[in-house]
Amino acid sequence: MIDKESEEYKQFEKLWEGVTPKGVNITKKNSFRSKMKNSCNQEGLEFSEVNSFLVYSGKSKVLDSDTIVKGEVKIRTPPRRHLRKF
């Protein structure tokens, strides 16, 4: 599923661990993880390293079989109340 030898994954790993040329920076690590947590929450995914990589790489944007697109809004079943047809 995830190619751990790809450049994209290696870059993600550096950001996930907070690796900089001078060593490990805890502040950058925490900042990146916080951004990934917020992104996972917006996508409706549980926060984990795998889901964070999917969001980082853009693979989470691929539509699932149960996803409906109305305009520019992705709707997963059940649809949101304000988008239901009554």
Query: Domain containing 17: what range?
Result: 7-61
**pLDDT score of 31 more than 90:** yes
**pLDDT score of 77 more than 60:** no
pLDDT computed for residue 70 by the predictor: 60
Q: Is residue 43 part of a domain?
A: yes
Q: Is residue 12 part of a domain?
A: yes
Q: Are strands 67-70 and 73-76 parallel, antiparallel or unpaired?
A: antiparallel
Q: Is residue 47 part of a domain?
A: yes
Number of domains the chain contains = 1
Query: What does the pLDDT look like over 63-72, one tens digit per residue?
Result: 555 555 666 5
The mean pLDDT of 8-12, rounded to a whole number, is 93
User: What is the C-alpha to C-alpha distance for residues 54 and 2, in angstroms, rounded to an integer?
Assistant: 9
Mean pLDDT of the chain: 80
Listed in sequence order, the DSSP H helices in 1-86 are 7-17, 26-43, 49-57
CA distances from 49 to 9, 35, 58, 60, 64 (A): 11, 12, 14, 13, 20
